Amino acid sequence: MTIATFALGCFWGVEARFRQVKGVVSTRVGYTAGHTENPDYKAVCTGMTGYAEAIEISFDPEIISYDGLLEVFWDIHNPTTLNRQGPDVGTQYRSAIFYHDEQQRNIALLSKQQLSDKNRYPNPIVTEITAASHFYPAEEYHQCYLEKKGLGSCH
């Protein structure tokens, strides 16, 4: 199995969507790229911890490639809004790709450049691409939240 880590807004809907992708073996939502130890949801929501709400995806690269996951990533959020996705505003909702090795880094950079070159969006893509750092799983009630609530989406 291979790991991919992305941030693209509120993690509830993001997790529900990635769990539908063939080749995704498991997911967990949590917090990454911040500057305090052991963050919790309440602290992350203040915007003072530097963390992003993120998803960690374990996937089978024989079934879906990292490129394939990036296609889903780009399709399910707006990568041109800085620190905002829909009604959710704050640095914890930023768009980011956290690569786990140089191959992922190169694929992510190329993917972002190709999308920019296509002029798909009227505004520039602001998605950050940085090395993965420690991932703190979110509290249990956040894991598969929409599924537990019997909801298909957040909005």
Which positions are catalytic? 10
Alpha-carbon radius of gyration of the chain: 15
Buried-state track 115-146, b at ≥16 Cβ within 10 A, e below 16: beeeeeeeeeeebebeebeebbebeeebbbbb
Q: Which of 91, 84, 118 is nearest to 31 (CA)?
A: 91
Q: Token digits for 30?
A: 């949590």
- What is the rounded distance in angstroms from the CA atom of residue 69 to the CA atom of residue 8? 13
Degrees (nearest 5) of the Cα angle 73, 84, 18? 25
Query: Backbone dihedral region of 114: left (phi > 0), alpha (psi from -120 to 50 degrees) or beta?
Result: alpha
